Every structure is written in structure tokens, then in C-alpha cells.
Amino acid sequence: MGDVLNSLMLFWGLMLLTYFLMQNGLSIFNDVTKAMSHFMLEKALGPGIDLVEGRDGSASKAWFIQGMLWLIAASTLVFEGLWLKQDPTALHSLSAWGYDPTANSLIYASNYAALYGGIGMLLIGSSLHIMPRLAGTNLASERNATLVSFLWTLSVLVLIVAAHDSEILGVNIFLIGTGMHALGFIAIVINLLLTISERQSSLPIPGWLIIMGMLADPISTTATIITGSIQAGAGQWLLAHMIGGTFFFATAAGVALYVSSSASGNPLWSRSLGAATLVGALATINPIGDSNGMMAADMLGVAFEQLQPSSQDSIVMAFLMALAMIPIMALAANVMMTLRGGDAFIENSDSAGIAEVNLGASMLFPLAVASLFVQSDALAAAPELSGMAPTLLLMGIWLVLVPISLGAALHLFPTVTGRNLLSRNRARWAYWMMGGGAFLGLTVSMMSDLIDMALIEAAVDDSSALAADVQAVGAILFYGAAVGAIMHTLNAVSGLFRGARIVTDRATSSSITTEAYSLASPTSVRKILAGGASLDTTVVPVGESDDAGSATEL
């Protein structure tokens, strides 16, 4: 078997073992393991744990605010990178300070800021709020999760520095950032595992998507290291897409399904599609991502290798990427239909964050299809579409992952903080600025890439100058995304201090599981089961009376 298939087989085996242990525990070692884990999360940190508060929701609030701040930094880096693609000397004056960025280095750094800083922190913040509610318990350690958020932010900052200069004074900066990132990630995973170990009932599908997505990140890394495939280009590419399809896609899927049900008040449109998303995310290779494994290689400190898979590996990779269309379509359909319920339009569309979640779900399938073509082309000996891969990756980040993660954070913000966002109108304007700027800016940038590729194929001497004007328009349009990120962040930060207080708790537990189903009108058994009911659900007919009514006293 090839490197790719070996790594996948080991990954699937480890994930099955993990699921078995989560369901059955560690036998006589359960109590000892829990006690040691609790000690590691809090008391082992000594006086440092007292630097943060442990109130309910404090951890999610810290992750939300820092994640939004990272979106500002990421969008700024993307704008600068897109601008330097048509004007390489625009930031030349910074060389006097020892900083001489290029378009590639800025966009590469923006990927770390967006994926791990913005998206990663927003997804983890949402998970820290969602998982205890699905499990019917409290978060194992609010204080540890709050403290880890600052370690995570520091690790992202180190990774951004490493993206510009990977070695300073003979020290590999990527390894330092990866070590800090791994330490924080392990703490979050332990916190969530301890939380669901105290669950009062079976964990719904969104909860499994979140926890399995979290666990798959270190497990996939371990699998590629054990098999040795991380040293090859195919293994590096595989690891990048495995992490993208599990930690980012699966976790975002769980968060999106929860939020769509919570925001609309509707049960999940189909639990079967939710299960298909869970299995498919772990069993397939998500095509959304870069056409190489540079990020995976750099973070693990191994030499980057070009993607040159064997014929057997190419067949496996292409087949599993095509198969990934099933969970992608299942997630998009489930989220959009749950948001709409029985109506043609989204329920409660004025709620902050719902428009963003709907945008991410709407863009998921078309971008996945485009990525499938580009990634399949990258497996060839002489790829022809590699020039558009970086821009397509940016579209996947800013039109799918950012809207879903940010939309979830905005929706959960009032419940987490006890206050509403400062202005609903500002949130609406920020949505149009951020979504419109990212869509139009990156679409025009894609047009510039296609022009550049066509002119290079036609052997035009100076092709870059002809596409520069189009690229300049794309960069200017994307600046709207940076402005939208600033508006969203200011709206949230201002809401912490001046937002209207929440008088009563919002019902954000969602109707993922249904213990009682109110039957107000004739319906089918299929619709009742699709609404989240099970064989043990009590169907409660809503009584109607034929008695004559009376006038209402005013």
C-alpha cells in the first residue's frame, strides 16, 4: 500500500479506538484519569490560574473577542498580499525597519491568522459553550479554558512571525509556535472530554461532530508521523487536508448545525444527514484547501516536498475527494433547511449571525466542487490549474469557514456575555461589507489569476502587467472585508459594556433532541422523526376547543 492509504488506515483505526474508549471508558482507570486531568487543568498551574475568572461563559467570551481581533489582522494581511501581487514595491519603505514582505509571505501569514487565529478561536469558543449544554452539565474548567486562550493567541502570533522568517538566530520559529499551539490544543481537548464524561444523556450528532473534529487533529498528525508519510509530499498534502476536513470542517459542521437549530427554533431537518456528515468528514478527504502541504510541513519542522503521489495514491486521493461531496452536500442542505424550517425564507433572519451562517452554507458546495477540480489537477504530473489554488483557498476560508464560525459566535454572544451586540444595524452593515468584500474581491482576484494563466500559456512576454489592473480592483474590493471585520469587532466589544442586558436566558439548547413533540396539526410520522423525535418521544396533541369565544377586555 502507498503512504496515503497507510496513513488513512491507521487514522481510521485510531479514531475507532477513540470512539470505543469514549463510550466505554478506561475501566478501573476512569476515576484516576479524571482526577489527574482535573488537577492538570487547574491546581497544577499554581497561582497562574487565579489570574482569570471562572464565571459561566467567561471562557467563550475570551475566545470570541480574541478570535474577532484576529480576523481584523488576517483580513489586513490578505488585503496587503493582494495589493502586492500587482505592486510588489508598495511596502518597500518598511525594509528600512528590517521588514520586507512579499505577496506570498503576507498571504501565507494571513492563512495562519485566519485559520488558527480567527476561525480556530471562534470555533473553540462556540464549542466551549455548546458542549456543556448538549451534555447537560457544566464546562470542566472555565478558568483553564480562559487562560489557554491567551496561550493560543501567542502561538498564532509566533506562527505569523515564522511565516515571514522561519528561522531566527538559528532557531526554527515554526517549532516554537507549533509547541505552544499543541499545548493549548491538548488542554482544550482534555477540558471537553472531561465535560462530556459527565453527560446526563446520549450526545447528539452536533456534539459528536465537534469532539471528533477536535480529536482528529492530533490523531491525524500522529498517524502521518508513525507511518513516515510526513516526509513525502503526498503525506504532507494529506495531513493538511485531513486537518482541514476534521478540525475545521467537522467542528464547523457541528457548530453550524447547533446554531441553525438554536437560532430558528426548529429541530434539525434530518438527523440522517447529520450522521452522514459525521461519518463522511472522518472517512473522506475534504478537497477544500491548498494544493500542497506546506503548512503541515512547516509546522512540524520537516522539509517541504512537492506533491508527487504514486499512481495508487492518486487514485485513492481522487476517489476520497469525490466521495467527500456527500458529507458536504449533507451539511449544506441540513443547515439551510433547518434555518428555513417550513417556510421559504430563513426564520428570524434579523438575528445577528444567521445571515453569516447561511452564507457559509450556501457557498460550501460550489467552492467544494471548484476545489475538487483544482485538487484533482494537482495530482497530475503537469498541473495546469495550480495558479488559481491560492485564491481558491482564500475563498474557502473567507466565504465558508469565516462566515460559519463568526456567525455562530455572533449568535451565541448574548447568551455567553449576558448582553446583546451594541447595534443590530451595525451588524447588518458589517455583514454586507465583510461578505460582499470577500466575495467580490476574491472573485476579481480569481479573474486576474485566470488571465495570468491564459497569458502564460500563450507565451506572452509580460503577462503580469496585463493582469495587474484587474488584481488592483480585487484588492480594493477585498478591503471591504477588513472594514467589515473591524465593524463586527467594535460592535461586539462595545456590546460587552453598553449592549442591552439579557433579561431572560435565551433558549440556545436547541431542539437537537426532542423529549416531547407538540402535535398541533395533522402530520406524518416521517416528519416527526425528521424533527428530532425518537421512539421514546412523547407526542403531545395540542388541544383545540369548539366553544364560542368572547370579546377580549382591553
What DSSP assignment string belongs to 286-314? ---S-SS-HHHHHHHT---------HHHH
- Position 404 pLDDT exceeds 80: yes
Compute the distance between CA of residue 312 and CA of residue 317 in angstroms, rounded to an integer.
Answer: 9
- Position 47 pLDDT exceeds 60: yes
Task: Name the pLDDT band for 371 (thresholds 50, 70, 90).
Answer: very high
- Overall average pLDDT of the 436-458 stretch: 87
Q: What is the DSSP letter of 537?
A: P
- Overall average pLDDT of the 510-518 stretch: 54
Of 474, 469, 482, residue with least CA distance to 442: 474
The listed CATH number (1.20.210.10, 1.10.3720.10, 3.40.50.2000, 1.10.10.10) that belongs to domain 3-513: 1.20.210.10
pLDDT of residue 431: 92
- Overall average pLDDT of the 497-524 stretch: 61
- 285 within 8 A of 356, measured Cβ to Cβ: no
The residue ranking higher by pLDDT, 454 or 547, is: 454
- Position 43 pLDDT exceeds 70: no
- 109 within 8 A of 178, measured Cβ to Cβ: no
pLDDT of residue 410: 92
- Position 149 pLDDT exceeds 70: yes
pLDDT of residue 462: 65
pLDDT of residue 197: 84
Of 290, 286, 262, 133, residue with least CA distance to 213: 286
Compute the distance between CA of residue 297 and CA of residue 290 in angstroms, rounded to an integer.
Answer: 13
Compute the distance between CA of residue 442 and CA of residue 497 in angstroms, rounded to an integer.
Answer: 35
Which of these ranges, 1-15, 88-102, 408-422, 423-437, has the smallest mean pLDDT?
88-102
pTM, two decimal places = 0.87
- Position 441 pLDDT exceeds 70: yes
Name, in order, each residue with C-beta under 8 angstroms of 119's C-beta and a sequence gap of 6 or more. Answer: 67, 248, 252, 397, 401, 402, 405
- Phi, then psi, of 501 in degrees rounded to 5: -70, 150
pLDDT of residue 509: 43
pLDDT digits (tens, 9 = 90+) for 356-366: 999 999 999 99
Read off the C-alpha cell for 425. 444595524
Of 283, 285, 292, residue with least CA distance to 234: 292
Highest mean pLDDT among 204-218, 373-387, 520-534: 204-218
pLDDT of residue 27: 63
Task: Name the pLDDT band for 186 (thresholds 50, 70, 90).
Answer: very high
pLDDT of residue 4: 85
- Overall average pLDDT of the 9-21 stretch: 91
- Overall average pLDDT of the 345-359 stretch: 73
pLDDT of residue 38: 66
| Longest alpha-carbon distance in the chain | 87
pLDDT of residue 309: 82
pLDDT of residue 349: 55
| Cα atoms found within 13 Å of the Cα of residue 406, Cβ hemisphere only | 36
- Overall average pLDDT of the 189-197 stretch: 89
- Overall average pLDDT of the 153-165 stretch: 92
The residue ranking higher by pLDDT, 135 or 331, is: 331
pLDDT digits (tens, 9 = 90+) for 206-261: 999 999 999 999 999 999 999 988 888 888 999 999 999 889 999 999 999 999 98
Task: Name the pLDDT band for 144 (thresholds 50, 70, 90).
Answer: confident
Task: Name the pLDDT band for 536 (thresholds 50, 70, 90).
Answer: low
Collapse the DSSP code of 541 into the 3-class scheme (helix H, G, I; strand E, B; otherwise coil) and give the result.
Answer: strand
Task: Name the pLDDT band for 344 (thresholds 50, 70, 90).
Answer: very low
Residue 304 vs residues 159, 296, 300: alpha-carbon distances, Å:
16, 9, 10
Task: Provide the residue type at 151 as one letter.
Answer: L
pLDDT digits (tens, 9 = 90+) for 412-422: 999 888 888 88
- Overall average pLDDT of the 132-161 stretch: 90
Per-residue exposure over 16-53, b if at least 16 CB sit within 10 Å of its own CB, e if not = eebeeebeeeeeeeeeeebeebbeebbeebeeebeebe
- 323 within 8 A of 280, measured Cβ to Cβ: yes
pLDDT of residue 96: 74
pLDDT of residue 438: 93
- Of the chain, the percentage scoring pLDDT greater than 90 comes to 44
- 119 within 8 A of 182, measured Cβ to Cβ: no
Residue 80 vs residues 89, 105, 443, 455, 475: alpha-carbon distances, Å:
11, 10, 17, 24, 8
Q: Quote the mean pLDDT of the chain.
A: 84
- Position 375 pLDDT exceeds 80: yes
Domain residue limits, the chain = 3-513
Task: Provide the residue type at 463 as one letter.
Answer: S
Highest mean pLDDT among 57-61, 139-143, 214-218: 214-218
- Position 190 pLDDT exceeds 60: yes
Bridge partners for 538 per DSSP: 516
Compute the distance between CA of residue 206 and CA of residue 263 in angstroms, rounded to an integer.
Answer: 15
pLDDT digits (tens, 9 = 90+) for 282-294: 999 999 988 888 8
Handedness of CA 368, 370, 372, 378 (dihedral sign): negative
Task: Name the pLDDT band for 345 (thresholds 50, 70, 90).
Answer: very low
Which of these ranges, 66-75, 242-251, 262-271, has the smallest mean pLDDT?
262-271
The residue ranking higher by pLDDT, 209 or 545, is: 209
Read off the C-alpha cell for 61. 467570551
* Residue located via cell numbers 459542521: 253
The residue ranking higher by pLDDT, 70 or 291, is: 70
Compute the distance between CA of residue 117 and CA of residue 74 in angstroms, rounded to an integer.
Answer: 8
- 364 within 8 A of 399, measured Cβ to Cβ: no
Compute the distance between CA of residue 7 and CA of residue 9 in angstroms, rounded to an integer.
Answer: 6
